């Protein structure tokens, strides 16, 4: 039994040596036509797309951490950068918009602006109709509109 197992291990080891992989790579043909080159580039584009998506996720996480540290201005710039770059996936872009809305609605942000927050939530609803965040954005925007109306009513009642 051990001899057979040893034989199998040796066979696998010697059949997958680096030399065989290098020889297989050397046997690949280089495309001679422009169409072949385009197909070759598409593989690189896919790899760049993956890198781009990871870059967007890293930016969003970085901006989230900036919010926790209280650097709202830089976080807002990063969220806007992710939203405005169409190379990123829609779910990353709408996530950036949602976080922009939450940032502008936050009571911790000294330049909080409910109208700006509503604007970003409305952008999610109009630009990303298939977004997972759409319902929550709608709920938040409507709640903020009610808060604005209540403030106006309160302001009118106190001035009279």
Domain boundaries, the chain: 47-159
Quote the pLDDT of residue 8.
65
Site of tokens 């109208």? 115
- The whole-chain average pLDDT of the chain stands at 79
Half-sphere exposure of 19 (CA within 13 A, CB side): 3
pLDDT tens-digit series, residues 25-38:
445 454 454 444 44
pLDDT tens-digit series, residues 82-124:
999 998 999 999 999 999 999 999 888 888 899 999 999 999 9
pLDDT tens-digit series, residues 46-57:
566 667 677 889
Half-sphere exposure of 80 (CA within 13 A, CB side): 9
Three-state SS for 65?
A: helix
Tell me, rounded to whole angstroms, the distance of Cα 132 from its chain centroid: 13
Q: Quick one: CATH architecture of 47-159?
A: Alpha Horseshoe (1.25)
Q: Is the pTM of this model over 0.75?
A: no
């Amino acid at each position: 039994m051990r001899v057979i197992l040893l034989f199998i291990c040796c066979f696998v080891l010697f059949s997958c040596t680096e030399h065989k992989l290098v020889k297989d790579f050397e046997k690949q043909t280089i495309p001679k036509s422009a169409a072949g080159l385009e197909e070759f580039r598409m593989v690189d584009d896919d790899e760049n797309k993956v890198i781009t998506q990871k870059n967007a996720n890293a930016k969003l996480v970085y901006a989230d951490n900036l919010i926790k540290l209280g650097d709202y201005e830089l976080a807002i710039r990063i969220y806007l950068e992710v939203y405005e770059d169409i190379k990123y996936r829609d779910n990353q872009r709408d996530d950036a918009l949602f976080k922009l809305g939450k940032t502008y609605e936050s009571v911790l942000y000294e330049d909080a602006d409910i109208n700006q927050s509503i604007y970003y939530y409305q952008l999610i609803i109009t630009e990303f109709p298939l977004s997972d965040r759409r319902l929550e954005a709608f709920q938040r925007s409507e709640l903020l509109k009610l808060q604005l109306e209540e403030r106006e009513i309160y302001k009118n009642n106190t001035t009279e």
